[in-house]
């Protein structure tokens, strides 16, 4: 029987990532197969989940995927797991605008999964009961079946709160600054930069959380529509995916969608100057600004313009867009980059865009509605004759309600797209046509 549990918080910064990762680590250490998930458009937390659990973490997002898409992704990725652990996003009920769309609560309701609520009880005792009561009764379709108290001052402090709660307390965590995961401008550090002790994290959770109690709360998720999970088509085309410290933001579902459409994935490193023998390329987001001098000198950077002019399909998102432009200015120094598109990017100290996006693609390469999100600290100035790829119904994009630039068979945008709406078939087919010329 499949089992699921959602770890949510009262608000951002309450400790749900530490609790989620710690529970994953402790259960995995017990020999259990834990399938990790993350609510919302997050690339970084899933890398930690994947490293801990040894299996790819999946994003669950009702705006980008719909309720049925969330259920399908959960069931098709569960496979031989013993439990699915879903890390929430922001506060439990925080969704788009004033709704619950895309919130942790919406995902929990879509799955029919119970919620363990993480509460920072620093500086309160009996008041915690009022807070938890409000969360428990706010939406009768959301079931908060357990609570983890974080930043507890002492065993007596924890007991004072337990005595006035109607919801089971499955964990009481003392303050521990040593287990904080470092962050930078786009979020936490990636898993390969891990600056925390995973063994210590597992021990901390094992000592302070009733893992058997957590397991007893997990239940069987709501079934998906009676559709079979789509098997991969036999690969007849190869797509190179940039994967290194500069380009590392990818949805596992996007890579899997390429494979289902008949593509073999070949990872390569622009930082190492690699030029793979492939039929198309995909440059995801990441941190090109942290490696800009190396990228400027890279053999990959110098070769891409010719490959694009030759007709190779090349797709980029956010950091990929920045890399594929003519130049990137960082702290008053201009770096020459791939020059696929007549546009110049400037790194800013101020956040330029953050949130969900919906665009309508009208380029010769992609057409139709595409949903995703944007998150960047840069602006891109396009030449007057640049051809823009998306009209934005939601989101900032590049300029004047438009996003994406295209040249030849190459297209890049600030929007990080999700495969449930992105025309994966079109991209793979364009790679197929390029191969067959």
To the nearest 10 degrees (0 to 180), the angle between helices 424-435 and 252-260 is 50
Residue from 368, 358, 372, 411 nearest 388 by CA: 411
Catalytic, 431? Answer no
Three-state helix/strand/coil letters over 216-284: HHCECCCCCCCCCCCCCCCCCEEEEEECCCCEEECCHHHHHHHHHCCEEEEEECHHHCCCCCCCEEEEC
Our separate counts of H helices and E strands in the chain read 13, 25
**H or E element: which one contains 371?**
strand 367-376
CA–CA distance, 241 with 226 (Å, rounded to integer): 32
- Joined together, the tokens standing for residue 89 give 């996003």
Per the CB < 8 A criterion, the answer to whether 219 and 86 are in contact is no
CA–CA distance, 87 with 38 (Å, rounded to integer): 5
Going by C-beta distance under 8 Å and a sequence separation of 6 or more, which residues neighbour residue 95?
Answer: 101, 102, 103, 105, 106
Residue of 248, 318, 325, 431 with catalytic role? 318
To the nearest 10 degrees (0 to 180), the angle between helices 198-208 and 16-29 is 90
Q: How far is CA 349 from the centre of its chain?
A: 23
- Joined together, the tokens standing for residue 205 give 């959770």
Residue from 160, 173, 170 nearest 126 by CA: 160
Mind giving me the DSSP string for 301-363?
HHHHHHHHHTT--EEEETHHHHHHEEEEEETTEEEE---SEEEEEEE-SS--EEEEEEEEEES
Neighbouring-strand partners of residue 346: 329, 379
Any idea which residues carry the catalytic annotation? Answer: 318
């Amino acid at each position: 029987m499949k089992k699921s549990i959602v770890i949510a918080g009262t608000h951002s910064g309450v400790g749900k990532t530490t609790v989620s990762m710690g529970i994953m680590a402790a259960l995995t250490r017990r020999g259990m197969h834990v399938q990790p998930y993350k609510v919302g458009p997050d690339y970084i937390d899933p890398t930690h989940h994947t490293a801990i659990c040894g299996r790819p973490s999946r994003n669950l997002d009702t705006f980008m995927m719909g309720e049925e898409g969330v259920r399908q992704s959960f069931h098709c990725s569960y496979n031989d797991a013993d439990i699915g652990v879903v890390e929430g996003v922001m506060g439990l009920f925080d969704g788009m605008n004033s709704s619950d769309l895309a919130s942790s609560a919406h995902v929990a309701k879509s799955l029919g999964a119970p919620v363990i609520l993480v509460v920072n009880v620093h500086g309160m005792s009996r008041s915690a009961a009022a807070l938890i009561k409000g969360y428990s009764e706010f939406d009768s379709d959301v079931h908060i079946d357990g609570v983890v108290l974080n930043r507890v001052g002492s065993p007596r402090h924890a007991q004072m709160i337990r005595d006035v709660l109607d919801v089971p307390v499955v964990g009481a965590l003392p303050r521990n600054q040593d287990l904080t995961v470092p962050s930078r401008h786009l979020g936490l550090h990636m898993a390969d930069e891990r600056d925390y002790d995973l063994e210590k994290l597992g021990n901390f959770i094992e000592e302070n959380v009733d893992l058997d109690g957590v397991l007893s709360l997990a239940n069987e998720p709501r079934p998906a529509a009676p559709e079979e999970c789509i098997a991969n088509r036999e690969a007849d085309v190869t797509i190179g995916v940039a994967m290194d410290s500069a380009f590392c933001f990818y949805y596992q579902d996007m890579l899997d969608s390429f494979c289902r459409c008949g593509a073999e994935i070949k990872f390569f490193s622009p930082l190492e100057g690699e030029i793979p023998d492939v039929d198309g390329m995909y440059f995801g987001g990441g941190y090109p600004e942290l490696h800009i001098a190396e990228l400027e000198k890279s053999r990959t950077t110098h070769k891409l313009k010719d490959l694009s002019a030759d007709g190779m399909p090349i797709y980029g998102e956010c950091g990929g867009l920045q890399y594929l432009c003519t130049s990137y200015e960082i702290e008053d120094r201009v770096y020459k980059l791939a020059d696929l598109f007549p546009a110049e990017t400037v790194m800013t100290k101020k956040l330029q865009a953050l949130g969900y996006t919906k665009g309508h693609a009208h380029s010769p390469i992609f057409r139709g509605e595409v949903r995703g999100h944007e998150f960047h600290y840069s602006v891109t100035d396009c030449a007057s004759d640049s051809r823009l790829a998306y009209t934005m119904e939601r989101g900032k994009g590049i300029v004047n309600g438009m996003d994406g630039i295209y040249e030849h068979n190459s297209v890049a945008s600030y929007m990080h797209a999700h495969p449930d709406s992105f025309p994966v078939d079109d991209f793979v087919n364009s790679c197929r046509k390029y191969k067959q010329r």
